[in-house]
Structure 1
Amino acid sequence: MTLYNTIIKPVLLYGAETWSITKKGEHQLQVFGNKVYRKIFGGYFEQSTQTWKRRHNVDIHGLAKQPNIVATLKLNANRLRWMGHLMRVDRNRAAWSIYTSTPMDAKSMVGTGLTGP
């Protein structure tokens, strides 16, 4: 699971950002994600029939506990769209001041340039 999340998924999402995603493309991405999860989690042994069964998509998503690849891709696209809007907005607008402000009770995390709780 770690290998998929750290190597495969980011490469796939990076490549997908350059495509015009159609419904067919979304379906193909979802099928690929399901195949990878199915390989990671494997099948299961059903005691009543004494046979190995293949996991269904609902089972896979329950085990993964992560949004599917298409939902992640759409979320990233919306974030990019928002950042594009934010970079074009007038610096005197409320959206820009909220973006550049830090909470009053935030403490600097030493060496990161970030603030935390």
Structure 2
Amino acid sequence: MNIKKRCNEVGCRELIERRETYCEKHKGVVDKRYNDYRNKYDREYISFYRSPSWRKKRKEALRRDNWICKDCEQAGLYQIAEEVHHIIEVKDDWKKRLDIDNLVSLCKLCHNKRHNR
């Protein structure tokens, strides 16, 4: 059985796959609003995620976790990790942004769950 849910955009009644967040119509619009906000108000944060040091540390964390989502693995599932999550967020402790022990590999769905998206 293929379970569907509604798009998360307020007022949208489009049915989408359970693992998705927004329908095709709203996916780009919501991403743009979110990124516009971050780019406007938090330039240091954005430049960090574009830096070579972050890209290197991100790849190191993914290799350490064998490209497996750690939340899914705890549930007995094996999902490819596409994201690297800061356990203590960068905004809360800037000094831990490149600490390998503060990073965990997650799939997109689990990463979004951790951020309540």
Using structure 2 for the length normalisation, give the TM-score: 0.25
Larger radius of gyration: 1
Between Structure 1 and Structure 2, the one with more helix by share is 1
TM norm structure 1: 0.25
